[in-house]
Copies of this chain bind each other. A is one copy, B any other.
């Protein structure tokens, strides 16, 4: 697992070195939009990630400071994965991906509501969700 393989200094290239694969952004999506926070949560995603791939992706995201692995407040058998601010800052990218698909594909109805809200007032949507997520992570670190 080579994770220091910067191919160039280009920001796009560097970003893709970090999350340019089929799974990393889905884990972030699950944490942002579906409040998933444990290994088991991520395994249940409808895309069906393999256990070893999930482990390696979580490690990669941790290496790149996009997530943090904390003790689970309710159980020592679990770990609690939380977003970093760096990861929360990916939200605009993820929202733009949603808006792109909205323009060019059929979208499942469950998700349409979220996209509609994001389209209505993008800045407000980003701002309030970001605020909420940041609140969440400080609460978790303080064990609330």
- Taking beta carbons and an 8 Å cutoff, which residues of A are in contact with B? 7-17, 20-22, 25-26, 29, 45-48, 86, 89-90, 92-94, 96-105, 107-108, 111, 115
Contact = CB atoms under 8 A, between A and B. Distances in A.
Kindly report how many copies of this chain are found in the complex they form together.
2
Contacts of A108: 9-10
29 contacts: A8-B45, A8-B47, A9-B108, A10-B26, A10-B46, A10-B47, A11-B97, A11-B101, A11-B105, A11-B115, A12-B25, A12-B29, A12-B98, A13-B47, A14-B101, A15-B97, A15-B100, A15-B101, A16-B25, A16-B26, A20-B25, A89-B100, A89-B103, A89-B104, A90-B100, A92-B96, A93-B96, A93-B97, A93-B100
